[in-house]
Chain A
Amino acid sequence: MRTFTNLLKTELKLNIRNMNMVIFAVIMPVVVLVVLGIIYQSRPAYPGAEYTFLEQSMSAVCTISICAGGLMGLPIVVSEYRERKILKRFQVTPVSPVMLLVVEFTIYVLYALVSMVLLFPAAACFWGVAFRGSWPAFIGSWFLTLISTLSIGMMVGGIAKDTKIASVIASILYFPMLIFSGATVPFEVMPKMLQKIVGLFPLTQGIQLMKAASLGLAVDNLWLPVAVMGAVAIVCTGIAVKCFQWE
């Protein structure tokens, strides 16, 4: 435990000093919220809706940070540490690979948490966004979305040969998911055809689940998204740990 907290402290400091994640995982979601807030104010989601457009978008905005950490931050930091032979230096110490992965994983959990904690009060303050659903259900689906996305990143970082390949894979995953899963462009304004395609992203499933939980809507097939995200988390984490390479 002492090792974990010490490593976490140092690695978190380094990560914040780097600023990339502060911008992409903390500031950017706030910017998106402000833009949506200015455009939609407290307009209802559709004529006659019981909730506002912004209330409907909150879940998606919360996942911007998850995307940035899981599909950019995590894979790049793991592959960079391998390429720079920092992992090789750790290989000749008693630390376990799982410990190192858990430390990096935790950093991005913290970013996502900070982002969410900033977004809800800000939205409530400026645009009267109310939380209509169940907090436990929302936090549960948020957490599931978080670990499934981060585990994808951990796997990419684990199997990518170098930082360059990791960034390419990260971008291929990050941009389409960020733009089309409903994280920046609201799912509701997309054409039906596009909705069907992006429904295949695990992140889209997560957002839909979080949305239902935050708005207090019924979910038809609750177990489908839960099973998809759970399976992704388990498979990707398994691959990341099994295929871990120090060099």
Chain B
Amino acid sequence: MGKAKEAIRVSGLTKIYNGKKVLDGLNLSVKNGTVFGLLGANGAGKSTTIECILGTRRAEQGTALVLGRDPGKERRALFQKVGVQFQEGDYQPEIKVSEICEEIACLYDSPSDWRELCERFGIGDKLKNAVKSLSGGERQRLFIVLALIPAPELVFLDELTTGLDAKARRTVWKILEDLKAQGLTIFLTSHFMDEVEALCDEVCILKKGKTVFYGTIEQAKEQSGCEKFEDAYLKFSDEEADA
């Protein structure tokens, strides 16, 4: 895998659903080893952006390069090194935690130790349980574990801590910071601005498929004239609020 300086490069990405532009000429660049946050209200186009970058949705216009590769053409080589946690993760009805981990691990050339990952995320004692019997927070942590099993260079986390309690969120942040220190690039979406502030080096705020802010947390506060990042976010994303 070539060591491109950019983990993700998106240019002019446009996606149309039923004649409506849900993404409009999006440009992004995520540097290696950084944490990038894609923010916006529900329906702003965050999940669509992730899907177009990953190649699971085809954009009408524009290109996305991930680790220097085109996901549409080099899917199998690329996903050896990229982990993904989708917003609505689903699983086989009767599967157990250990089975789903094993099933994912066997797809990669050199996977991480999933038992250790489960341990770190606090679900090490649930390996024999059925996934459907886990609580919402435990299941959310399991899906983060699954995204990290490839021992990825880059991980996509869509709404990573939705459903987690305060303590579990802190644990997840700590683990992600450790992984970042080891060189992992993280692309996340979140509705929690404290989380974004704690983790992200750069953010992009989307509104109806268009970029309304792109830069660091500090720049967001500066440009908006707000002291708190959450206020800055609301100012950017709610500008000229809809009737």
Contacts and interface: CB of A to CB of B under 8 A. Distances in A.
Contacts of A95: 76, 107
Interface size class of A (residues with CB under 8 A): 20 to 34
B54 interface: yes
B90 A93 contact: no
A88 B93 CA distance: 16
A10 interface: yes
B92 A96 contact: no
B125 interface: no
A88 B86 contact: yes
A3 B106 contact: yes
Interface string A1-43: 0110011001101100110000000000000000000000000
Contacts, number: 67
Interface residues of B, number: 27
B192 interface: no
A13 B103 contact: no
Interface string B98-129: 01001110111000000000000000000000
B73 to A, nearest CB: 14
Contacts of A246: 56
B106 A93 contact: no
A89 B146 CA distance: 10
A93 B107 contact: yes
9 contacts: A3-B107, A6-B102, A6-B106, A14-B95, A86-B90, A89-B91, A91-B75, A94-B79, A247-B56
Given A7-B107, A18-B94, A84-B91, 10 more contacts: A6-B102, A10-B99, A10-B102, A11-B103, A14-B92, A89-B146, A93-B107, A94-B79, A94-B107, A246-B56
